[in-house]
Amino acid sequence: MVNTSDSPPTSFDNMKNEEQMISSEDLEIQTEEPDVKEDTDCEIEEQSEVETQEELQMEEEIQIETESSLPVNSLELSEIKDLLMDLSKHFESKLKYDKHKDEIIDKLHAENQSYKNDMLKKTIMPFINEVIFLIDDYSKLYRMYSKTDILEINTANLLKQFGNISEDLEELLNKNGIEAFSVENETVDFSKQKVIKTVPTSEQEKDKTVCERLKKGFMMDGKMIRQEWISCYKYEDINNNFNVE
C-alpha cells in the first residue's frame, strides 16, 4: 500500500490550490466592494442633506428679508378687516360718549340758566316794584300841577318836589345795596373822586381842593360803581404869568 499523504504534490494539486486562492481573493474583493459603495452612498446622502439644509436656510433668510421689507399695506385682508372693525367700534363708542356728554352739558346749562333767571327775578322784582311806585307818585304829582294855573304854583314847593325825586331814587338804590356817597374832605381824593374840570386860583392853599360837587358817587358791596364828580381848584402864579408875558 502506498502512503499518499507523504507523496509530493502534483501539478494538479497545485492548480487546484491556485484556483482556491483566486476564488478567495475574488470573494474578498466582492466583499469589500459593498462597503465602498455604502460609504459613497452615505457621503452622497450627507452632502444632499447639507445642501438641502443650506437651501432651507437661504429660503428662510429670503422670507425674513421679504417680510421685513413689506409695507403695512401688505397685511392680510382679514387682519385689515379686523382693524377696521375695531376702529369702527371705537368710533361709534366715542360718538355715543360725546353725545351723552353734550346732553349732560346742555341739561346743566339749562338748569343753570333757569336758576340764574329765577335768582334775577327774585333780586330785581323788589327794585321793579319800587320803580313802579315812584312812577305812580310822580305821575300823580304831574297831573296835580298840570291842572293848576301857573301863576298859582308855589315855586318853593315845586323845587322841593323836584328835590324829592333824587332822594326817593337814592333810597330805592340803597334798599338794593347801592350806596350814594360824597367825600367829606375838602382835599381831592383821587381814589373816590373824578375831576371833571379845574378852576384857576391864585391862592396856593386852595390848590387841589374841591370847588364844586357835581355828581354823587355810588358803591355796591364795597366796590366802586362810579366816582364822585367834582371840580377842583388849580393854583396858578399870576405874577410869573405876567412876567412871562
- Could you give the CA distance from residue 192 to residue 222 in angstroms, rounded to a whole number? 12
Q: Strand 193-201 and strand 223-226: pairing?
A: unpaired
Domain range list for the chain = 90-176, 177-244
Which of the pair, 23 or 78, is modelled with greater confidence?
78
- Could you give the CA distance from residue 24 to residue 16 in angstroms, rounded to a whole number? 12
Percent with pLDDT over 70 in the chain: 70
Which range, of 5-9, 119-123, 184-188, averages the lowest pLDDT? Answer: 5-9
Q: What is the pLDDT of residue 22?
A: 52
Asked whether the predicted pLDDT for residue 39 surpasses 60, the reply is no
Would you place residue 6 in the very low, low, confident or very high pLDDT band (cuts 50, 70, 90)?
A: very low
230 backbone φψ class: left, alpha, beta (φ>0; ψ -120 to 50): beta
Mean pLDDT, the chain, integer: 76
Using a 10 angstrom Cβ sphere, with 0-12 exposed, 13-18 middle and 19 or more buried, the burial of residue 210 is buried
Q: What is the pLDDT of residue 213?
A: 94
Would you place residue 105 in the very low, low, confident or very high pLDDT band (cuts 50, 70, 90)?
A: confident
Which of the pair, 148 or 194, is modelled with greater confidence?
194
Which of the pair, 36 or 121, is modelled with greater confidence?
121
Which range, of 104-113, 198-207, 229-238, averages the lowest pLDDT? Answer: 104-113
The secondary structure of residue 96, as a DSSP letter, is: H
- Could you give the CA distance from residue 73 to residue 80 in angstroms, rounded to a whole number? 9
- Could you give the CA distance from residue 164 to residue 160 in angstroms, rounded to a whole number? 6
Amino acid identity for residue 150 in this structure: I
Using a 10 angstrom Cβ sphere, with 0-12 exposed, 13-18 middle and 19 or more buried, the burial of residue 134 is middle
pLDDT in tens, 174-213: 888 899 999 999 999 999 999 999 999 999 999 999 999 9
Looking at the chain, list the stretches that DSSP marks H as alpha helix, in order from N- to C-terminal side: 11-69, 77-146, 155-175, 238-244
* Cell reading at 105: 352739558
| CATH classification code of 177-244 | 2.30.22.10
pLDDT in tens, 65-102: 555 554 545 557 777 877 888 888 888 888 877 777 78
Asked whether the predicted pLDDT for residue 10 surpasses 70, the reply is no
- Could you give the CA distance from residue 98 to residue 102 in angstroms, rounded to a whole number? 6
10 Å Cβ neighbour count for 180?
A: 19
Is pTM beyond 0.85? Reply is no
Q: What is the pLDDT of residue 93?
A: 81
Please name the helix (run of DSSP H) or strand (run of DSSP E) that holds residue 14, with its range, or none: helix 11-69
Percent with pLDDT over 90 in the chain: 22
What is the radius of gyration, based on Cα positions, of the chain? 63
